[in-house]
Structure 1
Amino acid sequence: MQIKDRTFVISGGASGLGLATVRDLHAHGGYIAILDLNAENGNKVVSELGDRTAFFEADVSSPPSVSSAVSALVEWVKHTKKSIGGVIPAAGVGFPGKLIDRHNEPIPLENLELVLNINLRGVLDLIRLCLPHMTTTTPTEPDGERGVIVMVSSSAAYDGQPGQVAYAASKGAVRSMTLVLARDLAQYGIRAVSIAPSYFESGMTAAMSQKVRKSLEGVFEFPRRPGKGDDFARMVRHCVENPMLNGECIRLDGATRMPSRL
């Protein structure tokens, strides 16, 4: 699908992998609707990139907040007359913790809910609210395509490490629903793809200790470095532009497989 003159809705677009994606799609002519909780960062990005971008404050764990943001961005799309061509729900969190701790206490339910609400429910919520504004757009030639959903899974969906039970569950769910979503949306000419990055430089991994970072670097195959935002953004762009990419979760990990212990 052509990126130029299409609108792309990107949650978590004010930082990390989401921001890298914002910059890349904008550089290729896209109109970008950034959804994020960090209004200061979001407005900075809009000031930097200009009038083909707009920021909408949203807490993806809150259905009313997501609904309000989508309503506002739809009005912006009506103004620009650049139809929604893609949704990239890139907002995500990791909140490590085993289900039972060393004191034989179960993990607080709210810790699990935080991860699942943002990484899974928030993804589905954003997609479902955007879809009615994609299914009615004019299909493009030659395939009758209307748009693409690019979700963010994780290597944790395949080889999650200790303490990642909620995170792995949420990212595994994204991986599992990719084909179902592709099948559900095929009649509308909308594709669904997910990307499963491993250790990438991001706000989430920035919180890791130096010891954990060094241990992770020891299991890299090639290239022997963490992934960068540009690596991820290029894959998103390829998913957008290649119409034969559909229903698949693509590992983006340099052949790295996470060990059970570091």
Structure 2
Amino acid sequence: MQIQQHSFLVTGGASGLGEAVVRAIVNEGGKVVIADLNESTGQALVDELGDNVRFVRCDITSGEEVQAAVNKAEEAFGGLQGSINCAGIAVVQKLLDRENNPAELDAFSRGVNINLVGSFNVARLVAASIAKRITNNSDTENVAEKNTDNGVIINTASIAAFDGQVGQASYASSKAGVVGLTLPLARELARHGIRVMTIAPGVFATPMMDTIPEKAREQLEAGVPYPKRLGAPNEFAKLVTHIIDNAYLNGEVIRLDGAIRMV
């Protein structure tokens, strides 16, 4: 699928990996609806990038708010060809603290709800929009056999899904759930010509990394075999644009991590 003149919903698109994706899509002639909680940075990005970008304040766990973002894409750009879900949070807590008190269940549930349930919520509403557009615009019989690339849904997991660290129970399990969504959704949506892919990034230079001590950052960089540095958001965005363009990428999880394996 080409990016030019096509429209994509990017959640978490006001900063970090999502912002890089927004810029890459617009640079290739595409159109974007940014769905994010940060109104000031989201609107600033719209003001900078121009008429091919819209912003909607959106909590990805809310069906109503995600639907409003989908509606904005339909109204502004005539429909959606895909979504890139970059919104998520990292919950850090051990199962037991130093006094052997149990972890907070609400904190664990919040991470799972945003990272996993939110990803499913975005996927279901974007897929419905694409499928309805196909139904309204053409004969949908045997779409899979015709190899018509009608849409692509890209989710963001993490290497924590495979290499979870102590204190990452919520984050690792929620991202493992995102990995688990990939193949069943790809198989189901094949009849509509909609592909589903997941990227599992390693340690990237995002605003989240600005909150950690410099020594911890250096240790993370030292753990990457090559290149021995944090990943750049534009490298994540390059993989996103390649996935959109390459119609044979479907139902797979791609690690983007410089060969790091967390131990």
Question: Do the structures match in fold with TM over 0.5?
Answer: yes
Match of 2:98? 102
Provide the residue aligned with 1:49 in structure 2: 49
What aligned pairs does 1:219-234 form with structure 2 within 5 A after superposition?
219-234=223-238
Q: Tell me which residue corresponds to 1:34.
A: 34
Shift of 1:103: 1.3
Q: Which residue of 2 aligns with 1:192?
A: 196
Task: Judge conservation of contact 1:11–1:88 (CA < 8 Å) in 2.
Answer: yes
- Runs of 5+ consecutive residues of structure 1 not aligned to the other structure: none
The answer to whether the aligner puts 1:256 opposite 2:260 as a matched pair is yes
**How do 1:169-188 and structure 2 match up within 5 A?**
169-188=173-192
Query: Which of 151, 154, 162 is the matching residue for 1:150?
Result: 154
SS of the counterpart of 2:153?
strand
Structure 1 position 159, deviation (Å): 0.5
**Per-residue CA shift, 1:40-99, capped at 9, x if unaligned?**
0110000000000000011123333323333333322xxx33x31111111011021111
Give 2:114's match in structure 1, choosing from 111, 118, 127. 118
CA contact (8 A) 1:94 1:204 kept: no
- The CA RMSD over aligned residues, in Å, is 1.7
1:151, 1:221 → 2: CA distance? 25
The corresponding residue for 1:69 is 69
The corresponding residue for 1:161 is 165
The residue aligned with 2:212 is: 208
State the secondary structure of the residue aligned to 1:240: helix
Contact 2:61 2:121 in 1 (8 A): no
1:10 alignment counterpart: 10
Could you tell me how far 1:142 is from its partner in structure 2?
6.9
Please give the alpha-carbon distance, in whole angstroms, between the structure 2 residues aligned to 1:85 and 1:65: 19
Question: Offset of 1:180 from its aligned partner?
Answer: 0.9
Q: Kindly, what percent of the aligned residue pairs are identical?
A: 42
Deviation at 1:143, TM superposition (A): 2.3
State the distance in 1 between where 2:231 and 2:212 align: 15
TM-score norm. by structure 2 comes to: 0.92
Q: Secondary structure at the match of 1:196?
A: strand
Contact 1:61-1:114 within 8 A present in 2 as well: no
Q: Which amino acid aligns with 1:8?
A: F
Corresponding residue SS for 2:189: helix
Indicate the larger mover: 199-208 or 234-243. Answer: 199-208
Distance in structure 2 (CA, Å) of the matches to 1:54 and 1:201: 25
Asked whether the 8 Å contact 2:6–2:81 carries over to 1, the reply is: yes
Preserved contact between residue 94 and residue 167 of structure 1 (Cα < 8 Å): yes
* Larger helix fraction of residues: 2
- Could you tell me how far 1:106 is from its partner in structure 2? 1.2
**One-letter code aligned to 2:99:** H
